Amino acid sequence: SQTIHQWPATLVQPVGSPLSLECTVEGTSNPNLYWYRQAAGRGLQLLFYSVGIGQISSEVPQNLSASRPQDRQFILSSKKLLLSDSGFYLCAWRHPVGVIKGYTFGSGTRLTVV
Amino acid sequence: QKEVEQNSGPLSVPEGAIASLNCTYSDRVSQSFFWYRQYSGKSPELIMSIYSNGDKEDGRFTAQLNKASQYVSLLIRDSQPSDSATYLCAVIKGGSTLGRLYFGRGTQLTVWP
């Protein structure tokens, strides 16, 4: 069966510090991968998605970037964090031809920028 | 215009009642629709999906889709306190290969004993 892993679970970082969040998927190949952010009291916002190694699409301009160095690895990064980057970050995957099955989410990383 | 609109609630129902959650979407060509449940501090989990007009039932949950009205709903029968969570409506936009999932803000449901 397929599983998705995210780490760390919680993170407290000072303003201006760098960020790296990692997500890996097991049990499938060539998944579509997604990063979402859920700010306090707000809905899930799609940040980035990837349909293959090195292929990254951004939904909104922001202080963050994403990379996909391996087929089942998706990384969210920032060079300098802002207070507004605080939130609950969720990685998700789906099979490339399995849109009818929806997305499966990782357990998330709660980021607090102080 | 937001892709998905939900009544943010909160919605409060007694145990055993029917909870009704509603959602509208803006893109008329959307084909796939989902309901996720999110407990406080946890990640969303998929509970229902629907692609065709009409009703789809799974246990105590029924999803309803009306493409002409661009309306999706979720009914929870015999509501239990364990159903207390935020329910997120989501819509795929962009086709089966490159489609992305867009979410509403969610409706917070409380089921009181």
pLDDT in tens, B73-100: 999 999 999 999 999 999 988 766 677 8
Distance from CA of A4 to the nearest CA of B (A): 12
Contacts of A96 in chain B (CB under 8 A): 97
Is pLDDT above 80 for A71? yes
Element of type H or E holding A7: strand A3-7
Least confident of A40-54, A72-86, B43-57, B95-109: B95-109
Verify whether the Cβ–Cβ distance B101 to A103 is below 8 Å. yes
What are residue B85's phi and psi, to 5 degrees? -175, 180
Cβ separation A102–B102 shorter than 8 A: no
Q: Tell me if A99 sits within 8 A of B100, measured CB to CB.
A: no
Q: Does residue B8 belong to the interface with chain A, where contact is any CB pair within 8 Å?
A: no
| Inter-chain CB proximity A104 and B46 less than 8 Å | yes
